[in-house]
A and B are shown apart, each in its own frame.
Chain A
Amino acid sequence: MPFLLVLAARNLTRNVKRTLITAAAVVAGVAIMILGWGLVDGLDENFLRAARTTYAGEVLLRPEGYPDDGVRFPLDDSRQVSDQLKAALDAEGAWTTRAAFPVRVVHGENADRAVTWAYEHDRETTVFSRAGWKLDGRWPEPGKNELVAGWAFGRLLGVKPGDEVIVEGRTRDGAHNALLFTVVGLARSDNAGLDNSGIWMEMSTAESLALLDGNRTHVALVPRDGGARAEALATALSREGWAAMSLAAECEDMIAINEIRRRALGMVVVMIMAIAATGIANTVIMAAFERVREIGTLIALGMPRAQVRALFLLEGAIMGLLAGVVGAVAGGALVSYWQANGFSVGEEVMSASGNMAVSQYVYTQFGWGSVFLSLCFGVGVALLASLWPAHNASQIIPADAVRAD
């Protein structure tokens, strides 16, 4: 067996050019396959990330009965976070609370309805780093009546940083309240819904506007060990009137949309591999025919036909493996790079998404699974492509072979 391996290896190196050209097809095919899957997985992650970094964290708690339609934000349903719950959250990782409530924002003659998102100044960035957000202006200073508007809402109302607006709303008990605010920034998050109708203010300001009295509508948690135990945590943290959901459960609907892309991509990838396969098959077949003489000699010298077949299969396998590895490395490297840095699909694609949370940056998702699968695919294709020529080669009659070509 080792003899065959050596022979196979030597054969491959004998015609480097041929080997390389064939291998190129496999490399490309495997790399593209990995990239493709990486992209599709990345798209799922895209939605998840947008939700995770703008309002949900890994585990999202809302008061029991609180509507999750994204349209109503009743302050009546807000609750306090008990000390026991706080301790439970502290034990798991970084967490923060938000209070959401509807308001009317008035700028001179214009008025539009918005949803206020009040955040805790010191906790907010431990959970929502805002790393991918773009801010024109700055974030509010605690203690001042300042707000940041979603960029699309700002455009609707016709305000820019520096403008003054009046925010009118109701306190938790139902009394009218209104405060004069300065718009200090326009923010573009990864969440089109927030950008279209949201304004951000510090919790202390919201407390004076809505008399929250410590009541909140959202609690977001990012556990120290990431999202692995999100489901279990969600169950454990649903208590004292709060209902918790893992990020995945929250984003179920959005992820379903990715099904389209998966299928589309699947089809494209299959086609690409088919093309690569023909290239490989072609080469192996050609190689077999061109070495007819050599094979004839081998058989005449006593090599069992089975071994001849094995030899060709082995050549195909080695080439497939090596090429596959190169392709996997290339594809994997690209996917990893784009996972860390993302490539931008353009800002306006986001606004096409209406109220969905879609990120501007597409991050691919590296998965050993897809690397392994792609590799196997590469080897498999090479092997399959070699089957017929290998068989054929083994049937050569030495006398004919020597006479041929």
Chain B
Amino acid sequence: MKLLLLALALAIPGIARAITVDDMLDHVDKNLTYDSRESSVRMTVVKSGTTKSYLMHSFGRGAEEMAMEYLEPARDKGTKMLKKNDELWMWLPSVEKTQKISGHMLRQGMMGSDMSYEDLMEQSTWRDAYTGTVVGEETLDGRKVWKVDLKAKDTTVSYPRRLIWVDQASYIPLKQELYALSGMLLKTWTMSDIRTVGDRQFAYKMVVEDKVQKNSRTEITFESVAFAVPLEEEVFSTRWLER
């Protein structure tokens, strides 16, 4: 039944609102979460005039495990990180040794970027965390989007309000505005270059912009991504770091 409604929604703009927001969020969540994933991504950090660019290759399993290797720049090539539940391990080619990072160093941003591990790892689904209201339809980058106002269901959610522009075709939030409790805009997160990967839609480009501190943003471009990848157990182990 839902599928029929969906089909109708795609065909007839006026009926778009017939989709429940929960369903919409379900779709969005489905695109954004994964059981396993392998990807190659380029991250560019811009902060007060300086720009640094990194190329990383990573494996991820759910929210708990992630193994990442830096491929570029040359200086960082070979640096590997392993996150397993709450533990973080690092391998630096200049040292050639697996080192466990003690608890209190974990708070820092990755490579000096705007994204803390927390931001990346936040995996509670939007559907569970937010109540949404569709407030309109717009066109963004030539695509039709729903503008949805998400309000956090409880006070523990990181971003009390998100304004999201969901692409009607792919259910990817092309743009998000992340708000503080006070209503101040903290960050914007845009996604673009949407492609089909397996049974989902995925945005190959993301830009996170700090709206509080001027001239501070991070760009992420996926060079390749695959889901439901069979992952060897070994990938999430210190042995992988040493290879």
Contacts and interface: CB of A to CB of B under 8 A. Distances in A.
B186 interface: yes
Contacts of A175: 152, 155-160, 180-181
Interface residues of A, number: 19
A179 B155 contact: no
Contact of A211 (B181, B214, B215, B216): B181
A178 B156 contact: no
Given A168-B180, A176-B180, A176-B186, A109 B215 contact: yes
B212 interface: yes
Contact of A173 (B155, B186, B212): B155
Contacts of B213: 106, 108-111
Choose among A110, A171, A177, A209 the residue with the greatest number of B CB atoms under 10 Å from its CB: A177
A109 B48 contact: yes
Contacts of B216: 109
B212 A176 contact: no
B124 to A, nearest CB: 11
Interface in B145-179: 152, 154-160, 178
B182 interface: yes
Interface string A152-182: 0000000000000010100101111111100
B158 A176 contact: yes
B140 interface: no
A175 B152 CA distance: 9
Interface in B190-232: 212-216
B15 interface: no
A171 B212 contact: no
A258 interface: no
Nearest to A210: B181
B155 A208 contact: no
Interface residues of B, number: 20
B117 to A, nearest CB: 15
Nearest to A172: B155
A208 B182 contact: yes
Given A106-B213, A166-B212, A176 B156 contact: no
B7 interface: no
Contacts of B212: 106, 111, 166, 168, 178
Choose among B155, B156, B157, B212 the residue with the greatest number of A CB atoms under 10 Å from its CB: B212
B184 interface: yes
Nearest to A111: B213
A144 to B, nearest CB: 14
A171 B181 contact: yes
Contacts of B181: 171, 175-177, 211
B156 A174 contact: yes
Interface string A373-400: 0000000000000000000000000000
Interface of B: 48, 152, 154-160, 178, 180-182, 184, 186, 212-216
Interface of A: 106, 108-111, 166, 168, 171, 173-180, 208-209, 211
Given A175-B155, A179-B184, 16 more contacts: A106-B213, A108-B213, A109-B213, A109-B216, A166-B184, A166-B212, A173-B154, A174-B155, A174-B156, A174-B158, A176-B180, A177-B181, A178-B182, A178-B184, A179-B182, A211-B181
26 contacts: A108-B213, A109-B213, A109-B214, A109-B216, A111-B212, A111-B213, A166-B212, A168-B212, A173-B154, A173-B155, A174-B155, A174-B157, A175-B155, A175-B157, A175-B158, A175-B159, A175-B180, A176-B158, A177-B160, A178-B182, A178-B186, A178-B212, A179-B182, A180-B184, A208-B182, A209-B182
